[in-house]
Amino acid sequence: MISTTHDIRQQFPFIVEHKNAIYFDNAATTQKPQIVLESIQNYYKRVNSNIHRGVHSFSIQATEQYEEARNTIAKFINASKPSEIVFTSGTTHSINLLAECLFNTYFHENDEIILSVLEHHSNILPWQNRGKKNKVKLQFATINENFQIDVQHLKSLVNEKTKLIAISHVSNTLGSINNIEEIILFAHTYGIPVLIDAAQSIAHLPIDVQKLDVDFLVFSGHKIYAPTGIGLLYAKEKYHEYMVPLSSGGGTIIDVDLYNTQFANVPLRLEAGTPNIEGVIGLKAAIDFINKNGGIHQFYLWEEELRKYLYQQLNENFSDLIIYTTPQTPSVSVISFNVKNEHPYDVGTLLNNYGIAVRTGHHCTQPLMKYLKIQGTIRVSLAVYNTFEEIDKFIIALNKSIKMLS
Ligand code: PMP
């Protein structure tokens, strides 16, 4: 069972510090629990040393902690081997790293990649940039009436030239959960690998990469109660042969002479230079925090109650909102909406005057905004420490803000 919300809130120094603030911008980044902050401080106080290179005990301890974190994270997403986990600086870095690898070793001219119109810019630009240079074409699946990727449309785009499908598990703008199970199953009947951008699902939904049989999966630590600057690329072992080092140097090798290098296997050959050791340790602590507090599914159950309540309150109390979800849409705790005839920035600015942090704008999904023919939305995104009382206060503040604007 999940601890009470009060207990959970007490574990977040930011929440305790800002008693009167309401933080509803969790899709952008989450707050960090005390044990994450302590894990980093403890590391620097007691262990701090560079990894993989020393014979002295501090270096050995640092290496052990770093690799133990890899094991914990592999278990968290049920990777079959820790070596399938490559540490990166975050989702954006992971997708860029994968794109560089695949464009160097895997794609050929006239190949095609399928994305969707609701992708975050981080899952469009790396494919767009290299795709143009290498004459690899992008295809985009549209969305259905429930604001999810339209699976039928996506299937209709698949042909013998399709070499990768790269889509998000959950839309960062709309919160809708995509039917990735069906998409992966379909892709594999044609031998097409699938990359899942799990940046917005990792903190809300249990993820089992073996059960999903997904080929690549990426996320950022900071969206799941861990520090910024750390993330990962899960890559199924079968594809490691395509993962050649781009950024090479210390830590990536087995043997070097002046003219030739024998590289280490994945993951080390992709983790060049001194990595973000404190970030890796902080990410492990964040996963420990989740496990100690009941696990991700328990977080989801609480957040789902909050989301349903928020949706009901928005629906019942306002006649002038456009809400970008439906009661049928499977969703994580994110709701995007607009107030008719008002700019989202104006609403967000007024809410800020009431101490409420929401995100406004295009949320790094301009193609989706263009598809929906809007400039932006107001996005409320909830986490495990949010409460019903906060939603009540938000509804009152939104009401006042709209009155002020009209
Ligand atoms: N993809 C999705 C779905 C996201 O929500 C985000 C962050 N908003 C990113 C990618 C990029 O993540 P980061 O900035 O941590 O690299």
Distance, in Å, from the CA atom of 6 to the CA atom of 385, rounded to the nearest integer, reads: 8
CA angle 19, 394, 223 (to 5 degrees): 70
Residue-averaged pLDDT of the chain: 96
Lookup: tokens for 316: 């019942």
Residues of the chain with CATH 3.90.1150.10: 5-32+294-405
Residue 175 near residue 381 (C-beta atoms within 8 A): yes
92 lines ligand 1 (CB under 6 A): yes
**3 band by pLDDT with thresholds 50, 70 and 90:** low
3-state secondary structure of 355: coil
Distance, in Å, from the CA atom of 9 to the CA atom of 2, rounded to the nearest integer, reads: 12
Q: What local confidence, expressed as pLDDT, does residue 136 receive?
A: 98
Residues with a catalytic annotation lie at 364
Distance, in Å, from the CA atom of 48 to the CA atom of 42, rounded to the nearest integer, reads: 9
pLDDT tens-digit readout, 219-265: 999 999 999 999 999 999 999 999 986 788 888 889 999 999 999 99
CA end-to-end distance (rounded Å), the chain: 45
332 lines ligand 1 (CB under 6 A): no
pLDDT tens-digit readout, 29-84: 999 999 999 999 999 999 999 998 789 999 999 999 999 999 999 999 999 999 99
Lookup: tokens for 25: 């911008």
**1 band by pLDDT with thresholds 50, 70 and 90:** very low
- The CA 172 to ligand 1 mean position distance, Å, reads 8
Cα–Cα separations (whole angstroms), residue 257 to 12, 133, 211, 363: 50, 33, 43, 47
173 lines ligand 1 (CB under 6 A): no
- The CA 92 to ligand 1 mean position distance, Å, reads 6
Residues of the chain with CATH 3.40.640.10: 37-292
Q: What is the mean pLDDT of residues 367-391?
A: 98
Residue 12 near residue 31 (C-beta atoms within 8 A): yes
Q: What is the mean pLDDT of residues 150-165?
A: 98
Say which CATH topology domain 37-292 has: Aspartate Aminotransferase; domain 2 (3.40.640)
Atom of ligand 1 nearest to the CA of 91: 16
Q: Which CATH code for domain 5-32+294-405?
A: 3.90.1150.10
